[in-house]
Structure 1
Amino acid sequence: MTASVPVVSMAGAASDPASFAKAFGDCFARYGFAMVSEHGIDQGLIDRSWAMSRAFFDLPEAVKRQYQVAGISGARGYTPFGTEIAKGAQHVDLKEFWHVGRDLPAGHPLAVQQPNNVWPEEPADFRETFETMFAELDRVGGILLSALARWLELAPDWFDDTIRDGNSVLRLLHYPPVEGSPDGIRAEAHEDINTITLLLGAEEAGLEILEPDGSWLPAAPPPGALSVNVGDMLQRLTNHRLPSTTHRVRNPVGDRAAVSRYSMPFFLHFRSDFLIETLPSCIDADHPNRYPEPITADDYLQERLREIGLKK
């Protein structure tokens, strides 16, 4: 099943940044999503990452739970099946996951908000693989934000300081086979908290986005492409000029119900101390400021973590 969300190639992002910015920004403004091809992440790295993710989630439950870290709201390490719940949902999502974040040096002013990583003893090369993947997704995310800055008629480097040492998270997701008629679905309808999300693994059917008319639009990128979407922090910054679109991962039907689904979303975040304040250029008589009170990225994040059950 192919998506109606357009595919935007990054091949010309460096040689013709204005054209890429228009194509990417226009797609974001219409859908809150874009399918991004030719992003430059090495396919060998992607393949190793899938192998590592599957190998970790195949470990016994007791082994995986050794890496569940108390007191950090799931920010790093392992979060067991049945923990996270979408804002306003009645049932927990049918998934388990692992979080990789950004390690900061001792004494860094943001270290209190951003705990350092924990790493499993197996599979071998897990740490090296996902440190590299984190860095690559971070790099591509920076290019995409530069394009959005151009589209918003800001300086191309406007977002650079807002995300430097930011609280970004790479999530390794496993949705186990669906048995019987469970109460919940793999991921209930939700919006992402962060700035933008870069997702690998959406080729497997299931990801859907909510259209303004209430219908659900399948979102399946071409093989190897990224699904990229607006998060709530960017929506707030732009006064909803760029919409954070509701999306979900529905349960499979037929033979696919017996198959696990794996994906790797990279939640690109602002710096924890960045003040999210509506851009003046996104406010006018027809679009009054929805958010007259600014908020730091970390305060906003903590509010939302409580809403989805990761923080008590």
Structure 2
Amino acid sequence: MGIPLFDFNDYDKDKEGFAKAFGEAFRQFGFVRLINHGIPEAVLEDADKASRGFYSLPLDVKEQYEAGEWKGLIGYSRNAEIARGKTEVDKKEEFSIRARLGDDHPFASKLDSVLNIKEYPDYYPAMMTLFKNFEEATLRVMRPISLYMGMDEHWFDDKFDKSHSMMRPIYYPNGGTAANHLDLNFLTWLRAEKPGLFVTDRSGVEHEVVAGEGELLLNGGMQLGLLTNEDLKPSWHRVDAPDPRYTIVFFVHPNPDFKLKPLGRFENIVLGADETPDYFPAANENGKFEISVADFVQQEISKIFG
């Protein structure tokens, strides 16, 4: 059995049934495939075209859009990441795009200089259109996830309005890689129409995943694992690209001050010491934990970039 496919048009026909199946698929695989997700194909194609156009530029031109000490967190970067717990650098080029950063945010002063590509003026508009569509699609998929968690379907509606979510068009050259890793964020949207993505499910079986026409992939990250006490645990995944591979990834984060702690029907579950993954924050004397999104991201980013 491969990664399950869901048609989001089915949600309103049977919300509870859809939510149960959606959550169980997330629980087993950590990934789902979605059609009728609400993002127009033309928007995806425009962003894909812009991504390929940028990556075709000479290296010295692309490097003008690096962000100095913030390289890898905003703007262009090449071979900049080492996966958590690994020692080998991932072989890829990527461009980190953010929105709605306050003036006091460390990246704010870099936005104009690294996101507006002089050599490709259509780049920023195409990417921001897709960014907005990913944000809207996130609110839609949070409805069945909320129901699965035992909460109102609209509970998360106001938890993303100040989000520091990030989008990344990525280029893997021949032999490009991303080491086996877990995503530190809440949810991840992924356009992956070429071979090279490998996902390990809850039982330890690895699946190669290629999205079909009109499909997007969606997977859970560490933050979702925290909210559900690992019921919806993040799945290990890696990239080993046999051919040049372009993809666009959207890393969803709730608002920076949102508190990550078990919610809904997972609120009173306490994991034993041998069940608690190493990304969980330290628990109090009652075995409970709570950490803001901002603090958790800083904690995990330091393990990737140092």
TM-score (ref. length: structure 2): 0.88
Instruction: Name structure 1 gaps, 5 residues minimum.
Output: 179-184, 253-258
Given the alignment of the two structures, is residue 270 of structure 1 paired with residue 259 of structure 2, yes or no? no
User: Structure 1 residues 301, 104: CA separation in 2 closer, same or farther (over 3 Å shift)?
Assistant: closer
Task: State how far apart, in whole Å, the 2-side matches of 1:5 and 1:151 are.
Answer: 19
CA contact 1:28–1:229 (8 Å) conserved in 2? yes
Q: CA RMSD in A?
A: 2.1
Given the alignment of the two structures, is residue 297 of structure 1 paired with residue 293 of structure 2, yes or no? yes
Instruction: Name structure 2 gaps, 5 residues minimum.
Output: 277-282
> What is the percent sequence identity of the aligned residues?
29
For residue 168 of structure 1, the aligned residue among 149, 165, 170 is 165
Q: What SS does structure 1 have at the residue aligned with 2:193?
A: coil
Q: CA deviation at 1:20?
A: 2.8
Aligned to 1:127: 124
Residue 48 of structure 2 aligns with an amino acid whose one-letter code is W
- Report matched runs for 1:24-173 at 5 Å: 24-72=22-70, 74-80=72-78, 82-104=79-101, 106=103, 111-112=104-105, 115=108, 117=111, 118-173=115-170
For residue 236 of structure 2, the aligned residue among 238, 246, 252 is 246
Q: What SS does structure 2 have at the residue aligned with 1:34?
A: strand
CA contact 2:221–2:234 (8 Å) conserved in 1? yes
User: Structure 1 residues 114, 144: CA separation in 2 closer, same or farther (over 3 Å shift)?
Assistant: farther
Given the alignment of the two structures, is residue 229 of structure 1 paired with residue 252 of structure 2, yes or no? no
Q: CA deviation at 1:75?
A: 2.5
Aligned to 1:256: none
Task: State how far apart, in whole Å, the 2-side matches of 1:285 and 1:44 are.
Answer: 44
Q: CA deviation at 1:104?
A: 4.0
Aligned to 1:181: none
TM-score (ref. length: structure 1): 0.86
Q: CA deviation at 1:211?
A: 3.1
CA contact 1:73–1:305 (8 Å) conserved in 2? no
Q: Which whole-Å deviations, capped at 9, do the CAs of 1:31-76 have from their partners, x for residues lacking one?
A: 1110111212111111111111000001111111111112335322
Task: State how far apart, in whole Å, the 1-side matches of 2:211 and 2:169 are.
Answer: 18
For residue 13 of structure 1, the aligned residue among 11, 17, 36 is 11
For residue 206 of structure 2, the aligned residue among 193, 216, 234 is 216
Q: CA deviation at 1:125?
A: 1.4
Task: State how far apart, in whole Å, the 1-side matches of 2:271 and 2:35 are.
Answer: 33
